[in-house]
A and B are shown apart, each in its own frame.
Chain A
């Protein structure tokens, strides 16, 4: 296992590459989800406020 992790002495170059790829793939996946949720909550809050004003 440790021989595998060592990557023939290139661990310091190979693993950061895979690590950065993982971070970028996760970040670009989560960010549109957060954006969509933020928009939905904004609209919901506006709708609730409009309903209160109509009463």
Chain B
């Protein structure tokens, strides 16, 4: 199963399904979020930024956890595909972290009266962005890609301690950022009409990540296996 060629073909077949389901959930999520969900009694329409900010923040943590797990597997079993998963996730993870920070700031200005504050939640999320950028820089700095993969695996694992800190920062410290209002267990603090678009957007961003990480991984596999016979045959097939 682990052979790059097998992965390249299987991933190729899966990407369209991820893409279609991503688009459908995105359109439904944005339609519900902007047109159906009622305005908030305190924040009015500005809370609609939540439908981008919260899913992006979820993704920034989810993707880093995937990278840390892939890092552990790569360090222990040195499987090529998991190494490729780490670097293929890094830029989309960094993008979602950046998106979460900027949309949070755009939401904070009207609601808190400031673009930025050195709050435990905001600061730990900013640290997460630097971790992502560090992983991208480290990977491109090392010539031998197998060695580079080991290096980013270690960095991803070292940095994973930051994820619970981000998640629980609002409970542990007295933060300006609100505590979590979506729980997997117990009664929801949010009305369902507001919760549905949020969950739709959450699902759609995960499906988006599925498609993008596979697309990046395919490009990485081609680059790594550029001298192998199966890649030559593939290219010759496309050259005709």
Residues of A within 8 A of B (CB): 7-10, 13-14, 16-18, 20-21, 24-25, 27-29, 31-33, 35-36, 39-40, 42-44, 46-48
**Which of A10, A25, A29 is in CB contact (< 8 Å) with B45?**
A10
Q: Which residues of chain A have C-beta atoms less than 8 A from B103's C-beta?
A: 17, 20-21
State how many angstroms separate the Cβ of B221 from the closest Cβ of chain A: 9
- Contacts A18-B52, A21-B52, A36-B215 hold; do A28 and B92 have CB atoms under 8 A apart? yes
Q: How far is the CB of A41 from chain B (nearest CB, A)?
A: 9
Please tell me if the beta carbons of A14 and B46 are within 8 angstroms of each other in the complex: yes
Name the B residues within 8 Å of A43 (CB-CB): 222, 226, 231-232, 235
| With contact pairs A9-B44, A40-B222, A44-B238 given, residues A28 and B53 touching in the complex (Cβ less than 8 Å) | no
Q: Are B208 and A10 in contact (CB under 8 A)?
A: no
Cβ-based interface call for B121 (8 A): no
Could you jot down 5 A-B contacts, CB within 8 Å?
Answer: A21-B103, A28-B95, A29-B211, A32-B219, A36-B222
Residues of A contacting B52 with CB < 8 Å? Answer: 17-18, 20-21
Contacts of B44 in A (CB 8 A): 8-10
| Min CB–CB distance B220 → chain A (angstroms) | 8
Interface pick from B104-112, B180-188, B192-200: B104-112
CB–CB A40/B39 < 8 A: no
Q: Which 6 pairs from chain A and chain B are nearest by CB? A: A8-B45, A10-B46, A32-B215, A36-B219, A8-B44, A35-B219
What is the minimal beta-carbon distance from A21 to any residue of chain B, in angstroms? 5
When chains A and B are docked, how far (Å) is the Cα of A37 from the Cα of B219? Answer: 8
For the complex, what is the distance from the CA of A46 to the CA of B219, rounded to whole Å?
17
Q: Is B136 positioned at the interface, with any CB of A under 8 Å from its CB?
A: no
Whole-angstrom distance between the alpha carbons of A18 and B44 in the complex?
Answer: 17
Assembly CA distance A13 to B99 (angstroms)? 13
* A10 to B48 Cα, complex, angstroms: 10
* Minimum CB–CB distance for B231 against chain A, Å: 6
Bound-state CA distance A8–B48 (Å) is 11
| CA A9 to CA B43, docked complex, whole Å | 11
How distant is the Cα of A8 from the Cα of B107 in the complex, in angstroms? 14
Chain B residues with Cβ below 8 Å from A33 are 215
Q: Using A8-B39, A13-B107, A21-B99 as known contacts, say yes or no to A40 and B46 having CB atoms under 8 A apart.
A: no
